Structure 1
Amino acid sequence: MTVPTDPQLYVNHVIAQLTGPGGRFEVVEESVLGARMPVMKNRGRSVGELLTASLRWGDRDYLVTANRRLSYTGHATAVAALATALRDEYGVRKGDRVAILAANAPEWVIAFWATQVLGAISVGLNAWWVPREVEYGLGHSRPTVVIADAAGAKSVATVGTDIPVLTMEEDLPRIFARFPQASIPHTEVDEDDPAAILYTSGTSGRPKGALHSQRNILAVVDYHRFSDAIAGEFSGLTVDPEAPSPLRYLLTSPLFHIASLHNLVIPRLATGGTVVMHQGGFDVDAVLSLVEREHVTNWGAVPTMASRLIEHANLDKYDLSSLTSFSLASAPSSAAFKERLREKAPFARNMLVDSYGLTESCTAITVATAAELEQDPDTVGRPIVTVSMEIRDPLGKSLPDGVEGEVCVRSPFVMLGYWGDDAATEAAITPGRWLRTGDYGVVENGRLRLVGRRSDLILRGGENVYPVEVEQCLDEHPDVLECAVVGTPHEDLGQEVSAVVVLREDATTSEVELRDYAAERLSYFKVPSRWRITTDPLPRNATGKMIRRDITV
């Protein structure tokens, strides 16, 4: 058979070989929750089964931190112990929620897998939430048990709940010691049963819990296995699915995000690769030292991290030759920024890729390869395997290429819905299981270009901030008559949170007082860093709706 010489045609040729009849990743059309869509034929049905399968990787590194190493065998032993305790001592059963409130740590990952083998639902609470937000998350997800680090346990104690809390520093080590010979529990689940809840800010001002199914997460795993196979074809090395992957992935984003959990930690159990976990705040020297020491091959960073790399005084003092893949995710970045990154960071020159996805979609919707970014720096690429994408008008009608509209997608990656919020689910997922992303874009030459991100959304350093939530907080201050929160450009963070506050007559509050007031009630990244305090009313249209585009800070 003649192999195409054109790069894109060759990619299509490889994909056809892998996904066609009899291919390792054969794609067929099946019904998913009542809607026909492409799915991979040879797939798993239970996330928990990945743990048992991972025992074949034995003493290979699964999780590595600056001062710890946990093999696949050691990890499975710890998971079995914790799962046994959760089942026998805390009554956790299929469908129950187990909340995890902690910064990145191996125990976070162990807690996730212990939940999965029980058929329970892992709830990733945002470790940056203040007690008020934690109280909401606990009330919303109603977990049977909370597993937390010291800081998380302190927040839960402040809330005053009667939900049992297991601490990572004290309780988990005792459990591991108490059940050293425990067997891994097995629970029968359906592939459309729920597996995880991850929170994303909502336009209503409250975080929404995206409910992900067994199918969703396993589809992400298969996507990564498929991507490895394609990379193998391009390198001339056929990937042996029975052999452990030599790849070593750097984890720098929080585990309560899909980038780190669904797309990094979970797939490694299927491939046998290694997760090198950075802990604590992002520090360029600490991260690059870890890359050098652990010979990291793959790194997916948010643009804010990449921005700090650009500003670093001397990258050359580190041996970064092991890096063969560097990607940007979680927030859009300009063509100029990508070019500065290529100039400053040698490892980004020929391998930089970009992508677009949502918590609701579990993984990327589109991916732009290095070659595509060279041709079209503003693109976020083409839909990944099994993803159907349409650009639609406000009435839901599909638009032709070249016309801007809302990005809508359908795939086995799309969430079941929002936990406990039927109205939000119905608004987001239309008949036929099409997800309305709320983002606006245009398709040109088969590639997506975004033209707007969820009209009001502020993207601060990879974190989503919805103005309504911050506005509702400030509105509670007795001196505030009305307020508006908008995103303004920031060199390091991409955007910063900025507020215009209209004070009541005779009010005397100050910027410092308002900042402290917000900091007590909101995560640090949601607290406005720029303020304009005024007595002039906000601009509104004839119906009384605030006109955000006319607001200046």
Structure 2
Amino acid sequence: MYAELARARAELCAEGQAFELKNVEINGITVRSWKNAAANLRDFWLSTAGHGDATYLVYDDERWTYAESHEQVSRIARWLTDNGVKPGDRVAIAMRNYPEWLLSYWAIVSIGAVAVGVNAWWVPEELAYGFNDSAPVILICDRERLQRYNEIRNTCPTMTVVGVRCDDILTEDDVPWSVVLQSAADMPHVEIDTDTDACIFYTSGTTGRPKGAQLTHRGCTNNIMSSLFGNLSQIQALSSMEGKEFGTGGTQSVLLTTPLFHVTANNVIAHTNSMLGGKLVFMYKWDAGEALKLVEREQITALSGVPVMSRELLAHPDFESTDTSSLKSLGGGGAPVHPDLVEKIGSKAKVAPAQGFGMTETCGLATGAFGPYLQDRPGSVGPAMPVFEIRIVDTDDQDVPSGERGEVLLRSAQIISGYLNRPEATAETIVSGWLHTGDIGYLDEDDFLYIVDRAKDMVLRGGENIASGEVESVLYRYPGVTEAAVFSVPDEAMGEEVGVAIHLSEGATVSAEALREFSRGLLAAYKIPRYIWFLDEPLPRNASGKFLKKDLQARLQLDTAA
């Protein structure tokens, strides 16, 4: 099986083939790239016009064909250009997964501007930080995000607001979406350099505020090829081995379950499905019962989200009575797809399980495992895409032998150009082109990657990275809190939840609910600690003064948390 995979990968990447590789130089570093990747996202988007009258976007009873979507994207692009947006300017998108999110995105990147994907969970203070950091000239937002923005509007006095599905609460200076769509369907012509920024997505690091990762056009278009290659190479190997077609032919119909301000939904799913001429079905919010109805109604072929979504789908009481025969793949990323879930997807749903590993910093997928390959090695995230070099290193950045654990380093044309306004963080994370992922893993004898831990001090809750330092900095603002150590707590549904051990100043009294209520005004809801322990003694530290969080994780019991 693995010899067939190696053969399929080599054939697909051979000279003259669709997935031929080439070396390119970026900032003096030679990296691997897909030779046939589109030069930029404008060229890529324009190439999808050939899908014509095929259904592209579905939301409730609303539908857009590819032709209708291209017309609206051209109108949005023309309006942006007519209102002064130039290549390199930033335009923020702050809304839930409405079709207007994706239409706006294609328009922004098609005129060489930079799409800033705003985390829809952010509270007003977080929005103010993000807008001041990225300095967008225009904000495109929905009702809930506009209501939050109105609380800090005075911090961004020059930013023009475009309202989507919220005309009744717009000010006289704001622009209704209907006005944008009155512009001519005339896509402006611009030249876009492949190594300029296409979008900025915010990602949590180990300390402080989220960082704006700068995804380039080259990185994004390379990811489209990687996403296609990952499954195709494994399908081709299995088909060759079994002497028959394995799998996933026909028109794709994908249920979009995770936010478009993340690379999983936007880059891996939406970009790739657009290339294939598939249908993207949007949900107002995740609900397993509603998802099953959509699977049946829209003949969904693939559902990819965080693993808890697959669990909820399989466990839902309507699963057995719902026609899920159209499904061919179920899985995702953002958190480990545990071996028991891999088995359940194959046995109960009778479809191919899928798992990928990637980061905002890799513009999407770096590795992938599909079908029998994941079932055979359910703890793995698959082999690296051919455009990625991979190293496993010790704390001195020295390579470790195969099978030994160390930090995972990646190098590719898919790596971000850096972090916005953070040259020191960029230099620390990307060294000689090598991205320090902060993940601990190892490679087996067939170069399948296994992720076993994280070196970075983060909580991974339902696919959302939560920086411990960011949560701690908020808790320290509450009177009486003298020590706070945030760490992950295992959780069957979300993968991990936020836990915190707190030591108070002498004589102080603080309740868990008071801390949570205080945090709600400063942190998105998913970052607020679910488990809080108040310790009478100072928190344990090592010789350098750092909290011993692993000791706290091992020692504190859930039934003693507030």
Normalised-by-shorter TM-score class: over 0.9
Q: Does 1:322 align with 2:326?
A: yes
Deviation per residue, 1:191-220 (Å, 9 max, x gap): 111111001112122101110101001101
Change beyond 3 A, Cα 1:447–1:229? closer
% same residue: 33
Match of 1:438 in 2: 438
Change beyond 3 A, Cα 1:258–1:167? same
Match of 1:51 in 2: 45
Q: Does 1:334 align with 2:338?
A: yes
- Answer yes or no: is the 8 Å Cα contact 1:66–1:290 preserved in 2: no
CA distance in 1, matches of 2:338, 2:270: 28
CA distance in 2, matches of 1:385, 1:323: 28
Partner letter of residue 79 of structure 1? V
Change beyond 3 A, Cα 1:272–1:232? farther
Match of 1:71 in 2: 65
Q: Does 1:153 align with 2:157?
A: no
Partner letter of residue 326 of structure 1? L
Match of 1:103 in 2: 96
Match of 1:475 in 2: 476
Q: Does 1:220 align with 2:213?
A: no
- Answer yes or no: is the 8 Å Cα contact 2:501–2:535 preserved in 1: yes
Q: Give the superposition deviation at 1:229.
A: 4.8
Q: Give the superposition deviation at 1:463.
A: 1.2
Q: Give the superposition deviation at 1:43.
A: 2.7
Q: Give the superposition deviation at 1:186.
A: 2.1
- Answer yes or no: is the 8 Å Cα contact 2:24–2:32 preserved in 1: yes
Match of 1:84 in 2: 78
Deviation per residue, 1:337-388 (Å, 9 max, x gap): 4334544x3234xx11222111111122221233233332211211112111
Partner letter of residue 227 of structure 2? H
Q: Give the superposition deviation at 1:520.
A: 1.3
Q: Give the superposition deviation at 1:53.
A: 1.9
Q: Does 1:274 align with 2:258?
A: no
Q: Give the superposition deviation at 1:104.
A: 0.4
CA distance in 1, matches of 2:228, 2:533: 50
Q: Give the superposition deviation at 1:511.
A: 1.3
Q: Note the 1:3-402 alignment, pairs <5 A.
A: 7-89=1-83, 91-160=84-153, 161-162=156-157, 163-169=159-165, 170=167, 171-179=175-183, 181-227=184-230, 229-230=232-233, 233=236, 246-280=251-285, 282-343=286-347, 345-348=348-351, 351-402=352-403
Q: Give the superposition deviation at 1:336.
A: 3.1
Please give the secondary structure, in 2, of the residue aligned with 1:260: helix
The two structures have a TM-score, normalised by structure 1, of 0.93
CA distance in 2, matches of 1:63, 1:203: 36
Match of 2:172 in 1: none
- Answer yes or no: is the 8 Å Cα contact 1:52–1:184 preserved in 2: no
- Answer yes or no: is the 8 Å Cα contact 1:245–1:272 preserved in 2: no
Please give the secondary structure, in 2, of the residue aligned with 1:178: coil
Change beyond 3 A, Cα 1:531–1:31? same
Please give the secondary structure, in 1, of the residue aligned with 2:151: helix
Q: Give the superposition deviation at 1:97.
A: 0.5
Match of 1:462 in 2: 463
Partner letter of residue 117 of structure 1? S
CA distance in 1, matches of 2:367, 2:538: 42
The two structures have a TM-score, normalised by structure 2, of 0.91
- Answer yes or no: is the 8 Å Cα contact 1:253–1:259 preserved in 2: yes
Match of 1:4 in 2: none
Please give the secondary structure, in 2, of the residue aligned with 1:192: coil
Please give the secondary structure, in 2, of the residue aligned with 1:464: strand
Tell me, which stretches of 5 or more residues in structure 2 are unaligned?
168-174
Tell me, which stretches of 5 or more residues in structure 1 are unaligned?
1-6
CA distance in 2, matches of 1:172, 1:27: 45
Q: Give the superposition deviation at 1:309.
A: 2.4
Please give the secondary structure, in 1, of the residue aligned with 2:331: strand
Partner letter of residue 336 of structure 1? D
Q: Give the superposition deviation at 1:238.
A: 12
Q: Quote the RMSD (CA, aligned, Å).
A: 2.0
- Answer yes or no: is the 8 Å Cα contact 1:82–1:175 preserved in 2: no
Aligned length: 536
CA distance in 1, matches of 2:288, 2:458: 28
CA distance in 2, matches of 1:61, 1:85: 25
Q: Give the superposition deviation at 1:62.
A: 0.9
Partner letter of residue 167 of structure 1? G
Q: Give the superposition deviation at 1:399.
A: 1.6
Please give the secondary structure, in 2, of the residue aligned with 1:506: coil
Q: Give the superposition deviation at 1:115.
A: 0.6
Q: Give the superposition deviation at 1:175.
A: 2.5
Q: Give the superposition deviation at 1:237.
A: 6.6
Q: Note the 1:468-507 alignment, pairs <5 A.
A: 468-507=469-508
CA distance in 1, matches of 2:524, 2:345: 29
